[in-house]
């Protein structure tokens, strides 16, 4: 297995889709949504990201919670679902997403090895605080950084710089992990050692600066960064 070079001091993670399961909210209501739940989950996520990029280009920032609601409204209308109570339950579930099963043990391994851990996310501070608390990750993360400190979304280079400014470390000392290919290319462009968590077997993006390592989930991260017991 490919291993990171020596000198990695910190491991930072994208939140949504990387640590937290973005499909969990719609999946929890699959009985009511029926066979619409998965296409709705996928469209909800795609529109959420599309709105982040479009608002960044337009210079019309709104926080990720508003984008999440706007994307859900579009998705529900596109699928002919008109139910205010259902919408509220989906939003409540998204605010308190579960993490993927391997996440707590992985973070514990990194902490035992003395690595700095953190989140770098499009999510608003309130969203990230709630998700970390729900998943029980509070004590396993040293830093939780939100794009709200800059007012623009990834992959703007100013977002990745939040990490190096906060830690006073060079980009090469940070291993960055994301399930989003475009995000990984952004982090690699900034200078991070970049690990793509390709959970669904997606083809690689045709963008500059590909990832250093591709994994199917986060379980092997400690081995890659030299933190395995």
Report all structural domains of the chain as residue ranges with CATH numbers, in order of start: 10-21+98-224 (3.40.50.1000), 24-95 (1.10.150.240)
Active site residue 14: yes
Out of 14, 21, 63, 183, the active site residue is: 14
**Nearest residue to 129 via CA among 105, 145, 153, 113:** 145
Q: What is the pLDDT of residue 72?
A: 98
**Local confidence pLDDT in tens for the 229 residues of the chain:** 577 778 999 999 999 999 999 999 999 999 999 999 999 999 999 999 999 999 999 999 999 999 999 999 999 999 999 999 999 999 999 999 999 999 999 999 999 999 999 999 999 999 999 999 999 998 999 999 999 999 999 999 999 999 999 999 999 999 999 999 999 999 999 999 999 999 999 999 999 999 999 999 999 999 999 987 6
Q: What is the pLDDT of residue 229?
A: 61
Measured between alpha carbons, how far is residue 165 from residues 88, 148, 162, 186 in Å? 37, 15, 5, 17
CA 11, CA 177: separation in Å to the nearest integer? Answer: 8
CA 222, CA 154: separation in Å to the nearest integer? Answer: 25
Q: What is the pLDDT of residue 1?
A: 56
CA 152, CA 42: separation in Å to the nearest integer? Answer: 23
Beta strands 193-197 and 174-178, pairing class: parallel
The beta strands (E) that lie in 36-164 are given as 116-121, 143-146
Measured between alpha carbons, how far is residue 44 from residues 40, 212, 227 in Å? 6, 29, 36
């Amino acid at each position: 297995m490919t291993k990171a070079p020596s000198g990695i001091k910190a491991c930072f993670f994208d939140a949504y889709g990387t640590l937290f399961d973005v499909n969990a909210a719609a999946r929890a209501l699959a009985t009511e949504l029926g066979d619409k739940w998965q296409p709705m989950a996928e469209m909800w996520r795609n529109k959420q990201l599309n709105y982040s990029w479009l608002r960044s280009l337009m210079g019309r920032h709104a926080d990720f919670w508003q984008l999440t609601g706007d994307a859900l409204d579009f998705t529900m209308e596109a699928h002919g679902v008109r139910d205010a109570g259902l919408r509220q339950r989906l939003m409540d579930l998204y605010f308190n997403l579960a993490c993927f099963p391997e996440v707590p043990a992985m973070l514990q391994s990194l902490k035992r090895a003395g690595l700095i851990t953190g989140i770098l996310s499009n999510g608003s501070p309130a969203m990230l605080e709630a998700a970390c608390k729900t998943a029980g990750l509070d004590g396993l993360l040293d830093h939780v950084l939100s794009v709200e400190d800059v007012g623009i979304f990834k992959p703007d280079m100013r977002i990745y710089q939040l990490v190096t400014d906060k830690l006073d470390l060079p980009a090469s000392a940070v291993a960055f992990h994301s399930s989003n290919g475009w995000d990984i290319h952004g982090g690699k462009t900034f200078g991070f050692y970049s690990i793509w968590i390709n959970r669904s077997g997606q083809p690689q993006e045709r963008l500059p600066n590909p990832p250093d390592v591709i994994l199917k989930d986060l379980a092997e991260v400690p081995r890659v960064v030299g933190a395995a017991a």
